[in-house]
Chains A and B, each alone.
Chain A
Amino acid sequence: MSSSPVWALGVCAGLHAAGSRHVVYVPDNPLSHVLKVLREKYPDVTTTIATREEEAFGIAAGLYLGGMRPTVMLQSSGLGNSINALTSLFVPYQIPALIVVSMRGDAHEWNAAQVPMGRAVASICDAIEIPHVTVGAPESTADTVALVGRTAFGTRRAGACLLPRRITVPPVGAGA
């Protein structure tokens, strides 16, 4: 438990504070820390794994219609798989979700195949009217996630919280 990174504890505290009790996700490596914290510390949060990010958003829409406040967790690469769900379901129906994105392709990336989508994430969110906030430091993760979630559910607009790789995969010697 004590080995869980501050940012992962913050994601869980933040989504819980925003009233989310169901997380639908497609896993990636850093997000496994979040899933571990949820398992160990948040027994009231249900998690559902989807086969694909677009499917995760469909499940999340159903959860919202049924009275829940869904969180969708995905890697930035999966945002590309989600665009039609966001633009033809979430935006026109004004269905909110807290979206937590584990970034690839930003600073500290090693895989060139991750770079184009990672670089495009913010522009794509802007183009499809999904507000997004990038977490600035591990210690501010909880507040940022909670703020994005509360704003999303309060305004009935899906909102994204981007977790940069310099936080989720800190360089050796960087701490946290």
Chain B
Amino acid sequence: MTRMTRLEATHAVTGWATPSTAIVASLGHPAYDLFAAGDRDANFYTWGSMGLASSIGLGLAMAQPDRRIVVLDGDGSLLMNLGSLATIGWVRPPNLVVIVWDNALYGTTGGQDTATAHGADLAAAAQALGITTVETASSPDDLKRALARVDAEPGPWVIVAKVDENAPASKPPLDCAFIKQRFMAAIGTPESSTQGTTADVRPA
């Protein structure tokens, strides 16, 4: 079976996403590879808050039920916030797609094993926590099939994609407020503070 690197798999996701798709990336290598695969305004790169990418995605999916929300998480990050799967399994937003890059190691911190290298099964965990639409992908063809299922059936989806670690060669913008403002403008919720005003601004 043909393996895939996380960057190759990320390219497959960005190629599949439509312009309206919002993509949230977990900090470190998942975010770096999303930037490398295709920077776009509707990408939300996290620089901290390890574990919370799927939670941010859940909030987005509830706030914008008509927009597809894709989360690019890591196995180590998801293990830090497994309760998120239980909440997603309860709320069941049909427009949420959580993709877990499972390389069985903490790639951003030097390659220490995660529990998925020793038997932990995140796809089974998602099912056990109430998510019924779950796929596992170990090859580019698997991933392509899984994404086609996402197009055909409502979620919430969890796709656990087995990937090989690759050394990222780029990093997304560092300015967190810029990332947020650009993202919100792209998904139709620009902050009023970025818009200026034509109202009468003379002192009362």
Residues of B within 8 A of A49 (CB): 87
Residues of A within 8 A of B84 (CB): 51, 55, 58
Among residues 22 to 81 in chain B, which have CB atoms less than 8 Å away from a CB atom of chain A? 24, 44, 46-64, 81
Q: Point out the residue from A50, A55, A84, A95 that lies within 8 Å of B180, measured CB to CB.
A: A95
Find the residue from A48, A65, A70, A156 having the highest chain B CB count within 10 A.
A65
Chain A residue, CB-CB nearest to B56: A62
Query: Does A38 interact with chain B (Cβ within 8 Å)?
Result: no
Query: Does A94 interact with chain B (Cβ within 8 Å)?
Result: yes
Complexed CA–CA distance, A33 and B64 (Å): 29
Among the stretches A1-9, A85-93, A110-118, the one at the interface with B is: A85-93
Contacts A66-B59, A66-B63 given: A59-B187 contact, CB under 8 Å? Answer: no
Query: Does A101 interact with chain B (Cβ within 8 Å)?
Result: no
Residues of A within 8 A of B58 (CB): 58-59, 62
Total number of B residues with any Cβ neighbor in A under 8 Å: 38
Taken residue by residue from 7 to 35, chain A's Cβ proximity to chain B (1 for < 8 Å, 0 otherwise) reads as: 00000000000000010100000000000
Contact A58 B59 (CB under 8 A): yes
Shortest beta-carbon distance from A35 to chain B in Å:
16
Contact A89 B191 (CB under 8 A): no
Shortest beta-carbon distance from A128 to chain B in Å:
13
Q: Point out the residue from B52, B86, B179 that lies within 8 Å of A61, measured CB to CB.
A: B52
Query: Does A120 interact with chain B (Cβ within 8 Å)?
Result: no
Residues of B within 8 A of A68 (CB): 59, 63
Residues of A within 8 A of B81 (CB): 52, 54-55, 58
- How many contacts A-B (CB < 8 Å)? 119
Contact A89 B62 (CB under 8 A): no
Shortest beta-carbon distance from A145 to chain B in Å:
21
Complexed CA–CA distance, A89 and B56 (Å): 10
Contact A63 B62 (CB under 8 A): yes
Find the residue from B56, B60, B179, B188 having the highest chain A CB count within 10 A.
B56
Q: Point out the residue from A22, A66, A93 that lies within 8 Å of B187, measured CB to CB.
A: A66
Query: Does B177 interact with chain A (Cβ within 8 Å)?
Result: yes
Contact B55 A93 (CB under 8 A): no
Contact B177 A60 (CB under 8 A): no
Query: Does B91 interact with chain A (Cβ within 8 Å)?
Result: yes
Residues of A within 8 A of B24 (CB): 62
Contact A46 B59 (CB under 8 A): no
How large, as a class, is the contact surface on chain A?
Answer: 20 to 34
Residues of A within 8 A of B176 (CB): 92-94
Residues of A within 8 A of B179 (CB): 93
Chain B residue, CB-CB nearest to A56: B55
Residues of A within 8 A of B48 (CB): 84, 87-89, 92
Contact B59 A59 (CB under 8 A): yes
Among residues 168 to 204 in chain B, which have CB atoms less than 8 Å away from a CB atom of chain A? 176-177, 179-180, 183-184, 187-189, 191, 193
**10 A-B residue pairs with CB within 8 Å:** A51-B83, A51-B84, A52-B83, A54-B52, A58-B81, A63-B59, A65-B60, A66-B64, A66-B189, A94-B177
With A49-B87, A58-B54, A94-B180 known, 14 other A-B pairs at CB within 8 A are A52-B83, A54-B81, A55-B52, A58-B51, A61-B56, A61-B59, A62-B63, A63-B63, A64-B59, A65-B184, A68-B63, A87-B48, A88-B49, A92-B176
B residues within 8 Å of A by Cβ? Answer: 24, 44, 46-64, 81, 83-84, 86-87, 91, 176-177, 179-180, 183-184, 187-189, 191, 193
